[in-house]
Structure 1
Amino acid sequence: MSNTAIPTGLPAKVGVLGGGRMGAGIAHSFLIKGADVLVVERDEQSAEAARERVESAVAKSIERGVVDANLDDMASRLAVGVDYDAFTDRQLVVEAVPENWDLKVTSLRRIEERLAPDAFLASNTSSLTVNGLAKELTRPGNFLGLHFFNPVPASTLIEVVLGNQTSPELAAEAKRWAAALGKTAVVVNDAPGFASSRLGVVIALEAMRMVEEGVASAEDIDNAMVLGYKHPTGPLRTTDIVGLDVRLGIAEYLQSTLGDRFTPPQILRDKVARGELGRKAGTGFFDWS
């Protein structure tokens, strides 16, 4: 049997929409803390891939001694599927689909239709307006942004993004969830790029321009930030981890809302066009092969 008890403040039943790297990481984080977790994907193949992704990560956590638990017990509390109706009994559902406005709106509406009136809904958006998404829902008071960071299990940060209509109860609950997951909540009011993406992207875009202008190599620019400013990874390596396509999408959105200082440099557009998307593609600003 598992020795994992659910920490005070953590929902017992959690849903995650999307089982990619981010969604699987969110599911993993709740699962190892004792929650019953459901991951819903677009088709059976993607759902089974999500199961394998989560179970593999959990197995590594057990091997490393991060959690004292039995893998079979963990697996018994993980469900995957393709039916949104399975979210009906969830106390919290976190949407973790790609950073596309129409996709997020459609997904959030479909989830909300199935949730109990007192259940909470969150988006893992890294830049899209929480207030704008809330306007598309019928219970905006039960909605907020929960911005997790890769790799989710190892990251100690959750950016809690409050919309104008987010209830005080939910704002307080979100801080408790973060603490129960062993993370620190940074609470921000909804604004383009929030705090983390806005700062992280502007640094990364300038680093890209420096590479483009031949100021220094990607490795030396990153080392300057790691050694000089104590960044755990430099802005370009972080971009590779996040995905160059993801960074481009965020930059374009921030340019449209905050102005030309977020204009994506041509080197970023060119790399995305060539499929050099970072770690997931094997190459970006660095070679990951």
Structure 2
Amino acid sequence: MTQPPGLNLRGAVDLTALARPQSVPAAAPGDGGAGPAGGPLGSGVVVDVDEAGFEAVVQQSLTVPVVIDLWAEWCGPCKQLSPVLERLAEEYGGRWLLAKVDVDANPRIAQAFQAQSIPMVVALLKGQPVPLFTGAVPEQQARQVIDELLKVAAQNGVTGTVAVGDADAEQEPQPAEEPPLPPLHAAAAEAFERGDYEAAAASFEQALAESPADAEAKAGLAQARLFARVASVPQAVAAGLAETAASDPGNVDAGLAVADRDLFGGHVEDAFARLVELVRRTAGDERAAVRTRLLELFEVVGVDDPRVARARAALASALF
């Protein structure tokens, strides 16, 4: 992570409008969200933030580093990254605050940070944004970035902490414990955390062999395969494939690789449109391979997502 001198990023991202009080109602007490605009964020090291509570985040960043996780419910990589960030926030014991922002519900915040794809993670120090990373990264890489952020924060006098402890537990009811994951799902989750996507896929494949109707295993397998494919292609090679796909729209290998990266980066509709067009341009085994990949990406996004429904209709038109 690079640090511009004195964190002089004003002008790169305009946060001033969001830092003013809004007329949007504040989050209800106990829902984990931010308080009223200009008010306290509440207790805990992980909070959900909306546009009404954004000023409180800016104020908090004067004394405590704030890490902002820009995510959405439909984003598969977000679902892998967010639990990693939440676990790290707990582990660091209040040395930084994790503020989670649903970009679909809060588009002005996403626009302010010029978010082109998600997950996107940025920090606020003394009210100024510091880019951290885009896309799902392994836990070790996220930890290294946050350690560097804390060094930068200390250099700029931002060394406060978020209040944690028994007092917080007394103020907020504790959620009921979630049932443990099935063994193969748990093994896949652990493999995801250490970046071993092939092992994660193998665990989900075994789960499906034992229970073919396991929808979560099917979606998890699609995600694991996507992550493995993206991780296996170096950035320089990916750039070359993007150029090939642009100059030769019928190139199946390039089109599949670029669609993977589009989806991984949150550009869902771009990925779907690219593959539907490839279906139109191909025939035989190539068309079958493209269709199979598109159906797999539907699983990553979620079969109930409206963009999947639209893409299914487009696929049917392309096929028939």
TM range (shorter): 0.3 to 0.5
**TM norm structure 2:** 0.31
Structure with greater strand share of residues = 1
- What is the TM-score with the length of structure 1 in the denominator? 0.33
Q: Which of the pair has more CA radius of gyration?
A: 2
